[in-house]
Structures are given as C-alpha cells and as structure tokens.
Amino acid sequence: MEKNNIIFMGTPDFAVESLKILIKSNYNILGVVTATDKKRGRGKKISFSPIKNFAIKNNIPVHQPKNLKSEEFINLMKKIKPDLFVVVAFRMLPEIIINIPQYGSINLHASLLPNYRGAAPINWVIINGERETGVTIFFINKKIDEGDIISKKKIKINEDETAGTLHDKLMKEGAKLLRDSIKNIFIKNIKREIQKISLKDIKAPKIQKKDCFINLDLGYKNIIQLIKGLSPYPGARIIHNNKVFKIIDAKNINNYVAKIGLNQIEDKIILNNNNKESIQITKIQEEGKKILNVKEYLKGNKL
C-alpha cells in the first residue's frame, strides 16, 4: 500500500492534538514546520513551541524557517515531496508553497466558515454571544480562510463556556474531523464546497489590547460575554485604584449594589456598569499575580 506523506504546520497547543491523532492513524509525518524559538519570561530563556516539543519527543524532523518565501525553504519542501500540507494554527502560506504537494494544502479552522474568518474565532463567538460554532476543514488558497470547504462539524456553546473550555472542545473535535477528511482526500472521496464570501460575514480579527478593556456602558450580558470570551487569556481588564485587574470569570446577580466600577462587599467583588446593573466577579487576577478565586484573593488583599 502506498504511504501517504504529510508535512504538518502548526505552533500552539491547539495544533498538538491534530498532530497526535495523525500519528496514531499511521500517517507518515515527514516533518513539522513551526515558528522560530522565542525568548520568554524575565530570564529571557529560549522556549520551544508546543508543536516543536511534541515533534522532538516523537522523533519528527522540525523546520523553523524565518521566511516561508525563502528559496532555501521552497527547495527543501520540493525535495521532501510531501503528498499533502496539513496546517493547524500557523501562518498564512505563500502561493508558491501551497501548490507544492500533489493533493494541495489544507487547514483546520475553529469556526463554521465563512463566518469568523480570522485569527481569533474562539474568542469572538463567545464575545458575540453565539450559541453554536464548529470546525471547518478547507483547501488553502491565496486568501485568508476563503478556500473550498472539505468538511464541517457544528458544536454547541454552553451558557458557562469560556474561550478556554471551547478551545479544548474544538481542538479535540477538529482533530477528529481533520483525520477523517485526510482519509477522504487520499481516497479521492470529497466534494469541494466553494465558500460564498459576503460583506455580511462576521469576522474574527486578532484580539488587540484595546478589545480587552471592559466598557461599563455595555449591558451586563455583554460584559459577561466579554469576560468569558477572553478567559483565561488574554483576560478582560479594568483599572481600579490605579491597578490593572483581569476579570477571569463572573456571573449575573439581580440586584444593583454600590457604586459604578469594582466594589468589595464583604467576601465578594461586585462590578457595576453605567446602567445600574451588577455582576459578581468569581475569578480575578491582579497585574503580575496569579489567577485566584475571589474569596482566596480577598484573604490576602483589599481592592
């Protein structure tokens, strides 16, 4: 039986689950392409991407090109001769790279395309109060997240969902859908669905620092959605007594208590908006400190 050779491209934890399931499915992973190593933390120690760490443990060759358009990288990929490029949470590929494998290049995206195209679909579906999302496998073309769709799977968003819990759901379901889609690509059992791109499509741009600050003019539901959509990372923020606090989780309370902004009331922290609505903060992170349940935080700190 002919071996199906894959080059896998990805960087964060979200991509590791997909690589893991492809290895278990006995696909021949010729190599992994991931981001260059970064210096992190106060000591500026070099750290590897989650995908690089996983590849090293599984004896898979690792490639970390600074420039995907470099002649050296293009020639290397042509020499390796993969049948398929599989991309999960990586960078945009140049057209010259996309067309190297005989079966093309595919991507796993964490939304139901064409909606929520962009870098942060998991955050934005919760911020926008969606009750459903999903994963999509599609062929990559020269436009971001606009290639022909191979397969989709819908996933429910629970009321108490955070970006963190939804990330893990989509990561697992996406890996399974990717495995099944690759099998169908190699046996030539797929129907390509052209995306109908529209100006009405909801976008999912990268989360900027300005997106993280809580606007107290918003209603309590929208504030809770923002908190959950940015939890645990990068975290919804508010400034109180010249300190930046990240609000990691919160719930609605029916009665309006105390003044606008953050309030400590006994062993609780209440956030009030400008519409005389209150929410109770359940997890908080003071700048530079650990995430704590509010009761734990208030044992050693005052607001």
Counting the structural domains of the chain, the total is 2
Look at residue 162 and tell me if it is in a domain: yes
- The verdict on 68 and 216 lying in the same domain is no
Query: Pick from 136, 151, 186: which residue ends a domain?
Result: 186
Rounded distance between C-alpha atoms, residue 291 and residue 280, angstroms: 16
What was the pLDDT predicted at 78? Answer: 97
- The verdict on residue 138 lying in a domain is yes
**How many Cα atoms within 13 Å fall on the side-chain side of residue 291?**
14
Confidence band of 255 (pLDDT split at 50, 70, 90): confident
Q: In this structure, are 164 and 226 located in the same domain?
A: no
User: Quick one: pLDDT band at residue 254, thresholds 50, 70, 90?
Assistant: confident
Task: Tell whether 122 and 215 lie within a shared domain.
Answer: no
Instruction: Tokens for 288, please give them.
Output: 């530079």
How far apart are alpha carbons 68 and 49 in whole angstroms? Answer: 17
Angle at CA of residue 99, ends 93 and 100, nearest 5°: 100
Q: Are residues 256 and 161 in the same domain?
A: no
Query: What is the reported pLDDT for 1?
Result: 44
Q: What is the DSSP letter of 230?
A: T
CATH number at residue 286: 3.10.25.10
- The amino acid that residue 266 corresponds to is E
- Looking at the structure, tell me whether residues 268 and 164 fall in a common domain: no
Question: Can you tell me the distance from the alpha carbon of 24 to that of 34, in angstroms, rounded to the nearest whole number?
Answer: 20
Give residue-wise pLDDT tens across range 164-216: 999 999 999 999 999 999 999 999 999 999 999 999 999 999 999 999 999 99
Write out the H or E segment, with its range, that includes residue 121: helix 121-127
pLDDT of residue 257: 74
244 and 106 part of one domain: no
Strands 105-109 and 84-88: parallel
What DSSP state is assigned to residue 255?
A: S
Mean model confidence pLDDT for the chain:
95
pTM above 0.85, yes or no: yes
Last residue within a domain, chosen from 186, 221, 253: 186
Position 197 in a domain = no
Tell me which residue has tokens 């992190």.
40
> Which pLDDT band holds residue 45 (cuts at 50, 70, 90)?
confident
Q: Integer distance in angstroms from the first to the last C-alpha of the chain? A: 66
Round to whole Å and give the CA distance between 277 and 250: 13
In a domain, 37, yes or no: yes
Is 120 found in the same domain as 30? yes
pLDDT tens by residue, 8-28:
999 999 999 999 999 999 999
Q: Is the pLDDT of residue 303 over 90?
A: no
- Which residues, including other chains, have CB under 8 Å from residue 211's CB and lie 6 or more apart? 230
Q: Are residues 86 and 155 in the same domain?
A: yes
Residues 171 and 256 in one domain: no
Question: For residue 256, what pLDDT is reported?
Answer: 77
Rounded Cα distance between 243 and 261, Å, is 13
Of 181, 185, 151, 154, nearest to 170 (Cα)?
154
| Mean pLDDT value across residues 243-260 | 91
- pLDDT for 243 beyond 50: yes
Which of 133, 155, 186 represents a domain boundary (last residue)?
Answer: 186
50 falls within a domain: yes
Q: How far is CA 210 from CA 176, 245, 260, 300, in A?
A: 35, 14, 21, 30
Query: Where does the pLDDT of residue 38 fall: very low under 50, low under 70, confident under 90, or very high at 90 and above?
Result: confident
Instruction: For residues 143 and 107, state if they share a domain.
Output: yes
**Do 171 and 216 belong together in one domain?**
no
Mean pLDDT, rounded, for 215-237: 97
Structure tokens at 115: 């909606």
Q: How confident is the model at residue 2 (pLDDT cuts 50, 70, 90)?
A: low
Question: Is the domain of 145 the same as that of 23?
Answer: yes
Q: What is the pLDDT of residue 261?
A: 95
Tokens 């959605």, residue located: 225
Residue 139 domain-assigned (yes or no): yes
Specify if 140 maps to a domain. yes
Distance from C-alpha of 278 to C-alpha of 231, rounded to nearest angstrom: 19
In a domain, residue 141? The reply is yes
pLDDT tens string 47-76: 999 999 999 999 999 999 999 999 999 999
And the tokens for 156? 């429910």
Provide the CATH number for the domain around residue 125.
3.40.50.170
Is residue 3's pLDDT more than 80?
no
Domain extent at residue 271 = 209-300
